[in-house]
Structure 1
């Protein structure tokens, strides 16, 4: 018959597992920023697949429309920093873009990595995961985006739209109402007054007017527990970018954050999802 000490030990661990499973740490959504971009070249198939391998809840990529009407995953306005060609992404065709090596700059093991198309990345999404698609260009991308999403066979809950440009995001939500749309912004601080440009109510009101599903906020002193709580009360969950420090991540989770975008999804998953 089990001893009383052994039964107490089992009771303790059962209780700990229940607490861990219901903890906010386990509930936060971990989003791989441009994939697992700390270790692999950003916005590439290697980076995206590495994030999935590390069990990231979601992956974020950036998109542009090429000169010949294809959607590619790329962050910068030009291909100079990563591809070595000082030309706008939107001024190049898909064929021209795919002549660029976008992996060697990160690590020799990724030499000859090519810029992927959105359809290629959509096919990588595992069941139960989702892709955050950040629109870096204007509304001209939206018809092709709708077509690519429809052709992918992915369900509406497997993709979400994000972006800085308010008007483009508003049009995206109107065209694709079944998809979650999150408005991305970072509030700058006045160097003289040390005050932020707008208060929480401004962003909440603007988001509600456009029928957005949440907010995606750059991390600085503007992002407070009060802002997160006000947004949540208005039906707007808050995501934050880009968090690579575990201490910052834990602080944000305690404040009530819904999701954390990070270059290091593996580290964050190990930190927050050990109980799962």
Structure 2
């Protein structure tokens, strides 16, 4: 850890996150959800670059493997909601996907935005920032993912793998052992009994068994200080998605979360990292 002194405050460099020592709150990694997706069309270069401009510590994107073996940034199984074509991403070639406008739905100024490749997005990562890559397909993407990451020249610390599918995360950790791999989940609560689908130990044990590096949890009342402390004691930092309220974000930071994924990284940065 290194420390740089400025006239009125101290900045401590801890890994990839810059922390103001004068802040009233602990450090937190602010992650742009699909880029800065509140303002720009999700998973596009415009959204990713806007998140960097807003000084996000990291950006999260979703990936699929196309019919012809290229990795693209896209969230849904089909291109209907954003691109207007009701067809699975995996059933289309990259050239076919490039005919879709994925920006106009958000704002006319983004008209003609195209679905980017993972490689294009990797090239945008600034020094001391990182990219969270959420695998939306399955383990079939991993060989090409390793190839794209190796070719990017980015340090292992600048990319992390996340995903809902536990078996895919297991395989990702085996194939990419130098990368951080986090298991994504959101715990459902029975509306009648108020019982959660699983308890904290279920997720902690499964992540530990797979040698994963942390937990990435959907924000609801399952996320408590006790849960975070138990995960941390097992060596599993906790990230939380998707949080767009400063009030909720501050609550989570005080609980001890490692990072917060938000559609509005600029808003959260204004609260946690105000300019001096």
Q: What TM-score, normalized by structure 1, do the two folds share?
A: 0.92
* Structure 2 counterparts to residues 65-104 of structure 1, below 5 A: 65-104=65-104
* Residues 24/70 of structure 1: CA separation in 2 closer, same or farther (3 Å cut): farther
The RMSD of aligned alpha carbons is 1.8
Kindly indicate whether the alpha-carbon contact (under 8 Å) linking 2:182 and 2:213 is maintained by their aligned counterparts in 1: yes
More helix by share: 1
Partner in structure 1 of residue 216 of structure 2: 216
For residues 202 and 235 of structure 2, what CA distance do their matches in structure 1 show?
Answer: 15
Alpha-carbon shift at residue 193 of structure 1 (Å): 0.3
Partner in structure 2 of residue 157 of structure 1: 157
Q: After superposition, what is the alpha-carbon deviation per residue over 1:233-267, rounded to whole angstroms, capped at 9, x for unaligned?
A: 10000000000011000100111111000000011
Superposition misfits of 4+ residues, deviation over 3 angstroms: 13-20, 22-26
* Pair 1:133 & 2:133 matched: yes
Q: After superposition, what is the alpha-carbon deviation per residue over 1:142-197, rounded to whole angstroms, capped at 9, x for unaligned?
A: 00000000000000000000000000010001000000000000000011101101
More strand by share: 2
* Structure 2 counterparts to residues 1-276 of structure 1, below 5 A: 21=21, 23=23, 25=25, 27-274=27-274
Q: After superposition, what is the alpha-carbon deviation per residue over 1:8-37, rounded to whole angstroms, capped at 9, x for unaligned?
A: xxxxx9699999516473510000000000
The structure whose Rg is larger is 1
For residues 126 and 273 of structure 1, what CA distance do their matches in structure 2 show?
Answer: 18
Kindly indicate whether the alpha-carbon contact (under 8 Å) linking 2:163 and 2:184 is maintained by their aligned counterparts in 1: yes
Q: What TM-score, normalized by structure 2, do the two folds share?
A: 0.92
Consecutive unaligned residues of structure 1, counting only runs of 5 or more, are: 1-12
For residues 197 and 131 of structure 2, what CA distance do their matches in structure 1 show?
Answer: 31
Consecutive unaligned residues of structure 2, counting only runs of 5 or more, are: 1-6, 13-18
* Residues 24/89 of structure 1: CA separation in 2 closer, same or farther (3 Å cut): farther
Count the aligned residue pairs: 264
Kindly indicate whether the alpha-carbon contact (under 8 Å) linking 2:98 and 2:114 is maintained by their aligned counterparts in 1: yes
For residues 197 and 106 of structure 2, what CA distance do their matches in structure 1 show?
Answer: 36
For residues 16 and 132 of structure 1, what CA distance do their matches in structure 2 show?
Answer: 28
For residues 172 and 17 of structure 1, what CA distance do their matches in structure 2 show?
Answer: 34
* Residues 23/205 of structure 1: CA separation in 2 closer, same or farther (3 Å cut): farther
For residues 9 and 107 of structure 2, what CA distance do their matches in structure 1 show?
Answer: 45
